[in-house]
Amino acid sequence: MKLTKNFSEIHLDDIPLVGGKNASLGEMFSELSSKGIMVPDGFAVTSEGYWNFLNGNGLVPKLADLLSQLDLETFNNLSDIGATARQLLLGASFPKDLGDEIISAYKQLEERSGKTVSLAVRSSATAEDLPTASFAGQQESYLNVQGEENLIMTCHRCYASLFTDRAIKYRADNGFDHMKVALSIGIQIMVRSDKSCAGVMFTLDPDTGFDKVALIAGAWGLGENVVQGSVNTDEYLVYKSVIGKVKQPIISRKLGSKEQTMIYAEKEISEISKPEDAIVNLATPLERQQHYILDDEEVVQLAKWAVIIQEHYQRHMDIEWAKDGVSNQLFIVQARPETVHSQRKSKGIFKEYRIREKGELLCQGIGLGNSVTSGIARLLKSPKEIHKLNAGEILITRRTDPDWDPILKKAAGIVTDQGGRTSHAAIVAREVGAVGIVGTGNATKVIQDGQLITISTAEGDTGYIYDGKGSWDEQEIDTSKIEIPQTQIMLILAHPDKAFRYSMLPNSGVGLMRMEFIINNVIRIHPMALHHFDQLADDGVKNEIEDLTHHYPDKKDYFIHKLAEATATIAAAFYPKDVIVRMSDFKSNEYANLMGGKSFEPEEQNPMIGFRGASRYYHPLYKEAFEMECQAMKMVRDDMGFSNVKLMLPFVRTVNEATSVIALMKDQGLARGENDLQLYMMIEIPSNALLAEEFAKHFDGFSIGSNDLTQLTLGADRDSELLSEIFSPFDPAVMQLIRMSIEKAKSAGLKIGLCGQAPSDYPEYSRFLVECGIDSISFNPDALLNGIKNIGAAEKNISNIANNAL
């Protein structure tokens, strides 16, 4: 039998012959090159070559006997058995006929490429890259291999790597017979990403399983830094279905610090005893750290390829990519099935965690998933300290690689100094169900071995590590069993980093997206300070702003792009359902707390009824900032294609004020009715309810802000403990204004909803709203289920009364 096969001869059904990795490379090379996907040429040494090697040296019975002695309970002898197995293979002779065929295939590869090539030599087990078991990183790979002798030496080492400790443990854990798994070797032209960049991408969001986006992550240099989690990566989210249909399908960019760049070491293969000796990590110059690794066109190109690969394989995929720094071309160098979300059986189960008590914040990083746990911190420097970690403890280390795999199933949590959402530690944490926080920068310095800690990833994209044992609530929701009422149930959202998760709850969209929360938490800088950056007098503030915005020469673009991307993330999560975005509604004292804000805000005695809402938008003190808000919303709707975004004006005091702001929005390219743009208005001032029929001439819908309406109707500060008995949503005057607003909206043919806590807290309040004919009610996520229950009960009660009356 032929012992080598060119990629052009290999397809997916060749897994028994060439392993999952090589079968996938051959499949893409053969079937997807015609669709524009670039896969470096190469060939595979088949599993027959492996068996020839073992049988020719009489190794099969020796290995079988050795592996039968493995302690499957404690794995205490794993290290000894692995070392002995590897030495058996390394000490055996490499068959001449096999070596001759490899050299012949190598020469043909050079003839096809027309030049002397540098090679990537990768191991591919015949049971790997299956939908249920990734086998990622279990065997060794070698880079920058040149010359015939070096190639054979590297192939020999690949065979031995089938018996790394981690590979032996992985097969045992997943029920694979050691002696029925063979090793194929992939030999591929190297992509010179050492001179450019490389990374990974997923055809879904790997934390939530949200499948409408592709996540692309990467760093400068060879991709091993990304996979191993040695660096904090650049990340891009691309909304897949609009690629090629809209101007800008990228909905999020995050600049990573990319502190290190991996390049080739100047060594001969004979000097290299293990793969990591062939490469070296250099400190990335600061200027390069502050630049994105890819331009928008390249990001979209990769995402387009991800969609093609997903469609071809008919499943979600985990893909490795690389950019050649010589040719500047992008390549796909590996694709394997995604193995976490595709294997989840309880897709309708939504788990929610809510922290109640927490100790001092020790450090923070990138949080994975949504969970909380407490336990003893165990600081480990290497996998050799496996015996120190007890089941249920929290592993704290600089970073992990596949050598750590035998230990990770014991950990309740995994915390690393280095790494991003696509790093080895992140992927394994998801696979084993551990709470994971990566890229903290300093966890190993601030956390003591044996310290009791709590780690939380339930508070957004950021994961937090707290001192001591915290307390939290857990709620498991089976969304398939929730009966949805006729009244539309919508969400109140402020944080884009939770949007994908919350989109999986029962909902009809987002009834209130609070823009000011994005400005406060994501942007953090007063928009006027960005607009007039060059005129800022305070050098300290100016330096702080420069630190955040250095990659935006025009500081206004920082505000516009960040606001657009955060909004687009929420719009994408719920598309095509409505996402009603309320334009900013900070009060002057809140705006002043933003970076640079004190220079642009008046001091007011009563900010609650002062310079806020629509009155700011056309005033010279804020008009330029409002125009930036409009430009961001235009980008979301027109460039990114999220026409499901509706815009809402808060605190509109008069009809003339409404028309002034609407005219200003039209000047900024946001004309009501164009590209299906709908404008809404908050009803939160008594004048809004009293003149609702006049306001209705200028808007497509209303949303009742019950808290402000209550306090302004009763003249009672909603935050005053002294007036808490007076501040009541059941006050007859307030309820009359709400009923009036609903009736007038219905008469004018407008939609009307309500945002607030009362319908979830009080069943009778839900019934009042349903009786009035409210179209929708928006809840904070933690109040959603109770709200659904109350509204459903109200609808049934009203229906029963109506039926009895008949």
Summarised one tens digit per residue, pLDDT across range 595-617 is 999 999 999 988 889 999 999 99
Q: What is the mean pLDDT of residues 450-476?
A: 91
If pLDDT is split at 50, 70 and 90, which confidence band does 268 have?
Answer: low
**For residue 271, is pLDDT > 70?**
no
Distance CA 785, CA 762 (A): 13
Q: Cα 742–748–753 angle (5° rounding)?
A: 35
pLDDT score at 496: 92
pLDDT score at 127: 66
User: In Å, what is the CA distance from 352 to each residue of 115, 289, 429, 504?
Assistant: 57, 36, 18, 12
> What does pTM read for this prediction?
0.87
pLDDT score at 276: 62
Q: What is the mean pLDDT of residues 154-171?
A: 90
pLDDT score at 138: 59
If pLDDT is split at 50, 70 and 90, which confidence band does 118 have?
Answer: confident
pLDDT score at 174: 79
Least confident segment among 11-15, 165-169, 308-312, 612-616: 165-169
**For residue 134, is pLDDT > 50?**
no
Asked if 211 contacts 233 with a C-beta cutoff of 8 angstroms, the reply is no
Please indicate whether residue 424 is annotated as part of the active site. yes
Least confident segment among 176-180, 305-309, 421-425, 708-712: 421-425
Q: What is the mean pLDDT of residues 47-74?
A: 94
Asked if 277 contacts 218 with a C-beta cutoff of 8 angstroms, the reply is no
Distance CA 58, CA 52 (A): 10
**For residue 675, is pLDDT > 50?**
yes
**For residue 129, is pLDDT > 50?**
no
The H-or-E segment that residue 254 falls in is strand 250-254
Residue 20 tokens, joined: 């999952």
Nearest to 25 by CA among 148, 129, 153, 159: 129
Residue 385 tokens, joined: 């300290």
pLDDT score at 527: 97
Q: What is the mean pLDDT of residues 425-443?
A: 86
pLDDT score at 421: 84
Q: What is the mean pLDDT of residues 656-677?
A: 97
Please indicate whether residue 341 is annotated as part of the active site. no
For 427-477, the three-class secondary structure string (H helix, E strand, C coil) is: HHHHHHCCEEEECCCCHHHHCCCCCEEEEECCCCCEEEEEECCCEEEEEEE
**More confident position, 728 or 187:** 187
CB under 8 Å to 535, separation ≥6 — which residues?
Answer: none
pLDDT score at 530: 97
Q: What is the mean pLDDT of residues 248-268?
A: 89
Q: Which member of 155, 158, 630, 755 is catalytic?
A: 755
Instruction: Report the chain's terminal Cα–Cα distance, integer Å.
Output: 84
If pLDDT is split at 50, 70 and 90, which confidence band does 634 have?
Answer: very high
Phi, psi of 585 (to 5 degrees): -135, 45
Q: Cα 302–304–310 angle (5° rounding)?
A: 100
pLDDT score at 387: 83
CB under 8 Å to 119, separation ≥6 — which residues?
Answer: 42, 106, 144, 145, 146, 151, 187, 188, 189, 190
If pLDDT is split at 50, 70 and 90, which confidence band does 509 have?
Answer: very high
pLDDT score at 401: 76
Q: What is the mean pLDDT of residues 358-363?
A: 95
pLDDT score at 766: 94
Q: Which residues pair with 185 in a beta bridge?
A: 45, 123
Distance CA 432, CA 169 (A): 14
If pLDDT is split at 50, 70 and 90, which confidence band does 420 have?
Answer: confident
pLDDT score at 273: 59
Q: Which member of 424, 495, 526, 531 is catalytic?
A: 424
Q: Cα 704–709–715 angle (5° rounding)?
A: 180
If pLDDT is split at 50, 70 and 90, which confidence band does 804 have?
Answer: confident
